Structure 1
Amino acid sequence: MATLPYWRLSGFYLFYFALLGATAPFLALYFHHLGFSSARIGELVAIPMLMRCVAPNLWGWLADYTGQRLLIVRVGALCTLFSFALIFVSKSYAWLALVMALHAFFWHAVLPQFEVITFAHLREQPERYSQIRLWGSVGFILTVVILGRVFEGLSLDVYPVTLVVVMAAIVLCSLWVPNAQPSSGNRKVLADGFFKQLRSPGVLAFYACVALMQMSHGPYYTFLTLHLESLGYSRGMIGLLWALGVVAEVLMFMAMRRILLRFSVRRVLLFSFLTAGVRWLLLGSFAEHFWLLLLAQLMHAATFGSFHAAAMTFVQRSFGPGQQGQGQALYATLAGVGGAAGALYAGYAWNTLGPTITFSMASVAALAAAVIIATRLQEDRP
């Protein structure tokens, strides 16, 4: 068996999620710095998520058809860099909307296909996925802590430059990663098999829950930083709070191999959704109490860590080797639909209904997913 290129795969995840660490806490803050209203901020944040409804399926089909997954990752990363650099041309709402859409079209080509490459390298040891993926969480932590401190002393005008630097690092890492392919077969059989697998018990229910989970994260990813600033927390402290959540996520990833060997995917997903329902209530109603805010951030271990690892395992088990690209693309698409819906409703509700009601709506979405998983997904053996 070929040696696992652990550090090459891990390095890519490190910088990929470093970019998420630069955008999730600070993108809405940057748009607020430019003077946009909460509704416009919600729309701008939603645009890249909406692009996930189209781009991953197109790239996923192309990857499964051509087998050129690594080439798609490299081209996607490079085009993401060039298209996002257009942000330096203008800061008008229409131009920023175009930049958000254009760079996201290429950006969403990258991760689903890289996940397939990672699992192809792992082959008979997919439970080691979380040991590689945790380096993405490390990248997120480093970025939010560093940028939180930087933006206490520097103007947010330098923010786009930091994103371009991280995107350039992703391009370089993509050139370092060796290729690997899942086994392939007759393409018509694979296509027919993909739609057949979608009709398997619980698969569509799982994807519906993916959308609901991402929708519940809408207020968190769009307005948490602004929410905490309004409660008097400094940007440096906010960066540390974001990092705390991801530290908890890293610890969960480190434990996920043992957890998935002991507990079924269904139980892990159910636990993740129930925890999310509680977490959003704490953030919406009790974030001014520091110890409850710390508890809510520690819950990120479940609302992202255990959820994502279990979801990736479910997709890997549910589709054959030649269907993995489409399975990952559909996961990204439904996550995009849910994320866009969450950002949009959060943007429109934030000023009119307030943080408490907005986060309560997120809690309802997560609990609805818990009900669906409990009633529609069959118990699987760990």
Structure 2
Amino acid sequence: MDGAGKHGAGAMTASSGDDRARSMSGSDDGAAPITADRPQTAAAGASQPETPPPMSGAMALSLRISAMFGALFLAYGVVVPYFPVWLDARGLDPLQISTVVSAPLFIRLLVTPGVGLLADRLGNYRLVITVLASLALSMLLVLTVASGYGPILIIGVAFLLANGTIMPLVETVAVRAVRAEKLDYGRMRLWGSVTFIVANFGGGIAIEAWGGDVALWLMIAASTATIAAALMLPRTPSNPVQQAAPESFPARTEQPTNAASKDCPAAGEGHGATARDWRQTAPAQLLKSRLFVLFLIAIGCTHGAHATFYTFGALYWQSQGMPAAWVGTLWAIAVSAEVLLFAYSAPFVRRIGPAGLIVTGAAAAVVRWTAMAFDPPLAILVPLQASHALTYGASHLGAILFIARAVPHKGMGSAQAFYSTMAAGLMVGTVGLVSGALYTQLGGQVFVIPAVVAAFGLIAALLLLRGWNGHPLWDDHEDAISP
């Protein structure tokens, strides 16, 4: 995972995609920059920016967003594998642990869209992210003196809720910057994966030396860094609608003629619709799209299947006698593989596209979690952990690319919120709770549950691959730019 989409840790790499974000053009070192690209439906003579943004300004924005990803995933790198270990050290049983970890994911179904709307209304993402990060830190400080299941449940849920709600807001800032400034999403997001690995290694070594209670203090340190990085973000995210189209983001002047456009009527359809007609809102347009619903099912099941591992992976390995340092190493192997995917996947992405990435991730998830149910030895665990590059990395990248290419601008915020609440909310929470209820009875065989969930995701992903041809789900005239 790398943290994002994951349980309360925000998971939701957050995170953690898009096909619209152009399949990356390779750079000298083979890395794959992810920049916004839609299918070219207009002449090459699309209007150019009157005043190109200064490179220094774009570079500074890229560094600030990279720092935010780095700090946020430093926290996730401790929270995701080791918060359950801390809960176990405080005497909670498996069902109680899964309840603390999963409950915020259901609450986020209501909270995340509202917080996103608030950030849009205020026009100040930095303020909202900073407040959430400060709230998360406050809850961690309260946990240092909390005891008993009831207080830990309430405070822990509040912490995970605040911490997890940050991710979709940061993703929105990043994706808008990609579209407006032609920034490289992959290279910014890469720093999140790097710090996640550092937290995995460091956390495992620290727990091995001082026990599970030290995990809380590591989370406090990482949350402090998150606040510092949030204060460096721009006050408002870039707005590509107010800028002319960059060269790699040509204007669309024609109606899409694919199945996707029939699937979801144009947002501007129905001249009699009023501002209060919810059927004409972007969320309603998305939910009326069969392809977008298939996308949510595919990505939700694929990411949700990770919940069993996020909640009980470290605890199960430790119960089998594995040292905490090796637990951290296995987590780091998973995210290192994800880093390599983000950095060197240009040919792979260009060949199979966003829907193909989601199919690949779902298929790998079926194999990974089925194998985990058979209590594999360390020699098999290493390649299984490396497959995280596909089960999470490829599926997240495909999701970001799909949203970027398939969703018109005015629906992107809603699409990100649906992705976050479905992939890192509803499905992760449901699978986590079911796994927690059965973990004591099934032990390692509990991984059969995520294998079945991933199989449903694979079916939905194959239907998406078959039905979507790469065009936007509907024609958004407000998103088009005249040549």
* Same fold? TM cut 0.5: yes
1:312 aligns with 2:369: no
Aligned to 2:13: none
Report the alpha carbon displacement of residue 125 of structure 1 after superposing the two structures with TM: 7.3
Provide the aligned C-alpha RMSD in A.
2.3
1:98 aligns with 2:154: yes
1:180 aligns with 2:237: yes
Aligned to 2:128: 72
Instruction: Give yes or no for contact 1:47–1:97 (8 Å, CA) kept in 2.
Output: no
Q: How many correspondences in the alignment?
A: 380
Greater share of helix: 1
Aligned to 1:334: 422
Q: Find 2:189's aligned residue among 109, 114, 133.
A: 133
In the TM superposition, what whole-angstrom CA distance separates every residue of 1:138-169 from its partner, at most 9, and x where no partner exists?
Answer: 01100010111111111322321211111010
Aligned to 2:477: none
1:255 aligns with 2:344: yes
Instruction: Give yes or no for contact 1:265–1:380 (8 Å, CA) kept in 2.
Output: no
Instruction: Give yes or no for contact 1:112–1:325 (8 Å, CA) kept in 2.
Output: no
Aligned to 1:353: 442
1:222 aligns with 2:278: no
Instruction: Give yes or no for contact 1:182–1:321 (8 Å, CA) kept in 2.
Output: no
Residue range with higher mean Cα deviation, 299-308 or 367-376: 367-376
CA distance in 2, matches of 1:35, 1:83: 19
1:245 aligns with 2:323: no
Secondary structure at 1:52's aligned position in 2? helix
Aligned to 1:202: 291
Change (3 A) 1:107 1:290: closer
Instruction: Give yes or no for contact 1:70–1:117 (8 Å, CA) kept in 2.
Output: no
Residue range with higher mean Cα deviation, 316-325 or 83-92: 316-325
Report the alpha carbon displacement of residue 258 of structure 1 after superposing the two structures with TM: 3.9
1:19 aligns with 2:75: yes
CA distance in 2, matches of 1:91, 1:323: 44
CA distance in 1, matches of 2:412, 2:239: 8
Secondary structure at 1:268's aligned position in 2? helix
Q: Find 2:365's aligned residue among 266, 269, 276.
A: 276
Amino acid across the alignment from 2:227: V
Instruction: Give yes or no for contact 1:252–1:301 (8 Å, CA) kept in 2.
Output: yes
CA distance in 2, matches of 1:54, 1:211: 17
TM, length-normalised to structure 2? 0.74
Change (3 A) 1:112 1:155: same
Which ranges in structure 2 are unaligned for 5 or more consecutive residues? 1-51, 243-267, 269-273, 472-483
Q: Identity rate of aligned residues, in percent?
A: 24
Aligned to 2:101: 45
Aligned to 1:375: 463
Report the alpha carbon displacement of residue 65 of structure 1 after superposing the two structures with TM: 3.3
Secondary structure at 2:427's aligned position in 1? helix
CA distance in 2, matches of 1:282, 1:301: 16
Report the alpha carbon displacement of residue 316 of structure 1 after superposing the two structures with TM: 2.3
Change (3 A) 1:232 1:158: closer
Residue range with higher mean Cα deviation, 278-287 or 160-169: 278-287
Larger radius of gyration: 2
Report the alpha carbon displacement of residue 34 of structure 1 after superposing the two structures with TM: 1.4
In the TM superposition, what whole-angstrom CA distance separates every residue of 1:85-110 from its partner, at most 9, and x where no partner exists?
Answer: 22123121111111122223332332
In the TM superposition, what whole-angstrom CA distance separates every residue of 1:206-239 from its partner, at most 9, and x where no partner exists?
Answer: 1122321233112110111111112221110111
Change (3 A) 1:354 1:159: closer
Aligned to 2:453: 365
CA distance in 1, matches of 2:118, 2:240: 16
In the TM superposition, what whole-angstrom CA distance separates every residue of 1:34-73 from its partner, at most 9, and x where no partner exists?
Answer: 1211111111111232232222111122233333222211
CA distance in 1, matches of 2:219, 2:417: 24
Instruction: Give yes or no for contact 1:51–1:104 (8 Å, CA) kept in 2.
Output: no
Amino acid across the alignment from 2:363: L
Report the alpha carbon displacement of residue 127 of structure 1 after superposing the two structures with TM: 8.2
Instruction: Give yes or no for contact 2:357–2:397 (8 Å, CA) kept in 1.
Output: no
Amino acid across the alignment from 1:273: A
Instruction: Give yes or no for contact 2:301–2:457 (8 Å, CA) kept in 1.
Output: yes
Alignment of 1:139-150 (within 5 A): 139-150=195-206
Secondary structure at 1:156's aligned position in 2? coil
Report the alpha carbon displacement of residue 172 of structure 1 after superposing the two structures with TM: 0.3
Residue range with higher mean Cα deviation, 166-175 or 45-54: 45-54
Amino acid across the alignment from 2:297: A
Report the alpha carbon displacement of residue 184 of structure 1 after superposing the two structures with TM: 5.8
Instruction: Give yes or no for contact 2:206–2:214 (8 Å, CA) kept in 1.
Output: no
Report the alpha carbon displacement of residue 11 of structure 1 after superposing the two structures with TM: 1.2
Instruction: Give yes or no for contact 1:74–1:171 (8 Å, CA) kept in 2.
Output: yes
TM, length-normalised to structure 1? 0.93
CA distance in 2, matches of 1:143, 1:197: 37
Report the alpha carbon displacement of residue 272 of structure 1 after superposing the two structures with TM: 0.5
1:302 aligns with 2:390: yes
Residue range with higher mean Cα deviation, 246-255 or 115-124: 115-124
CA distance in 1, matches of 2:379, 2:469: 37
Residue range with higher mean Cα deviation, 179-188 or 122-131: 179-188
Instruction: Give yes or no for contact 1:67–1:181 (8 Å, CA) kept in 2.
Output: no
Alignment of 1:3-14 (within 5 A): 3-4=58-59, 5-14=61-70
